[in-house]
């Protein structure tokens, strides 16, 4: 998926239901950063570890009951170390209980139209065969795109390879080893338990191009990383995001006659932005239809339409409006004298 437009470049069983494992922590992060953006929480506020959080198994930073850390520090623990105990601590702090926070996660999934996703945990930790988180590769790509566009600060956490915790007495190391090996890689989250297989929702940026890969169910971490690398390289090598028109910016100019000997240029401004993801080498054409070419013109008055085509297939269109006022030429004493002479 191209991150800015959401264009899917390549897909294989994108809607198959899978168990996300720790990839589901991305939704916990999304809800948490929503809290911060809405002013309901601050990254600097202190979270106190409960007994339940301290007893969590699996990947953890070994929180002790009563231990205190900032919300910011726990987000690092969640996204670098994949700490289940930190997930519970954050969920209880923000929503009062893990069950209440799971409800918020499912509500957010509905808002994002993640149609085949349902969470039962805040961490993705396996419970039992009939109770587990469910999602699809497409849904998790949608979630990743939401984080990248609405909460780009997520990358502050996911791009970190190694970080100290608890005054550097515990060293956290990212499970996403492609951070070391793939140029441009800066996120997002791995996940694994036996039933789920090896999962990864990854993103990388080179120049102004960013892509997302959502891959689930690999038999080994090595195979997962190999496939993610292949898909990202394929996207960077073969595709580009191009801006065909930008809202509020001139796209064309037309000559407007003001009498027999005066012509002014009128900028025609695009009314909306059009971004497309196109395979390198494809032909892009622009067709402009002018609906009015005589004054007067008022700023933002509809003057024409522009349509774009990629290999003769429609790729978007926008209304063109006048970029400024142009008055209808009037008679003056000078003009009358000039005409008579």
Active site residues: 22, 25, 82
Angle at alpha carbon of residue 140, lines to 208 and 173, rounded to 5°: 75
The CB density around residue 258, as the number of other CB atoms within 10 Å, is 15
Q: Which stretches of the chain are assigned E, i.e. beta strand?
A: 46-48, 68-70, 162-165, 170-173, 185-193, 197-206, 209-218, 239-245, 250-257, 263-270, 274-279, 284-290, 302-310, 313-322
Residues 219, 200 contacting (CB under 8 angstroms): no
SS3 content of the chain, % helix, strand, coil (to 5): 30, 30, 40
Q: Compute CA distances 188 → 170, 175, 215, 225, whole Å.
A: 22, 10, 12, 13
* 283 contacts: CB under 8 Å, gap ≥ 6: 310, 311
Is the Cα dihedral 232, 237, 239, 244 positive or negative?
A: positive
Helix (H, G, I), strand (E, B) or coil at 223: helix
The CB density around residue 5, as the number of other CB atoms within 10 Å, is 13
């Amino acid at each position: 998926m191209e991150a800015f437009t959401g264009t899917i470049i390549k897909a294989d069983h994108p809607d198959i239901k899978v168990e996300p494992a720790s990839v589901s922590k991305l939704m916990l992060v999304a809800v948490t950063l929503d809290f911060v953006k809405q002013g309901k929480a601050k990254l600097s506020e202190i979270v106190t570890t409960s007994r339940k959080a301290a007893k969590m198994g699996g990947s953890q930073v070994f929180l002790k009951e009563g231990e205190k850390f900032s919300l910011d520090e726990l987000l690092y623990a969640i996204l670098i170390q994949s700490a289940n105990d930190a997930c519970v601590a954050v969920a209880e702090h923000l929503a009062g209980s893990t069950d209440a926070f799971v409800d918020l996660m499912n509500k957010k999934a509905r808002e994002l139209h993640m149609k085949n996703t349902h969470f039962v945990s805040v961490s993705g930790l396996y419970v039992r065969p009939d109770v587990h988180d469910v999602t699809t590769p497409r849904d998790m790509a949608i979630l990743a795109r939401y984080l990248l566009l609405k909460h780009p600060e997520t990358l502050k956490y996911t791009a970190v390879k190694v970080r100290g915790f608890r005054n550097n007495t515990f060293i956290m190391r990212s499970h996403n080893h492609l951070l070391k090996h793939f140029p441009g890689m800066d996120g997002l989250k791995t996940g694994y338990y036996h039933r789920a297989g090896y999962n990864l929702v990854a993103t990388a940026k080179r120049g102004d191009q960013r892509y997302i890969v959502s891959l689930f169910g690999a038999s080994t971490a090595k195979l997962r990383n190999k496939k993610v690398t292949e898909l990202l390289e394929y996207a960077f090598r073969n595709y580009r995001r191009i801006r065909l028109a930008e809202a509020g910016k001139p796209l064309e100019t037309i000559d407007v006659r003001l009498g027999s000997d005066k012509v002014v240029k009128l900028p025609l401004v695009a009314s909306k932005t059009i971004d497309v993801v196109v395979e390198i080498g494809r032909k892009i054409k622009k067709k402009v239809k002018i609906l009015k070419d005589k004054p007067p013109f008022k700023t933002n008055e509809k003057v024409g339409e522009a349509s774009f085509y990629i290999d003769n297939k429609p790729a978007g269109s926008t209304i063109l409006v006048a970029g400024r006022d142009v008055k209808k030429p009037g008679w003056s004493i000078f003009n009358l004298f000039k005409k008579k002479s």
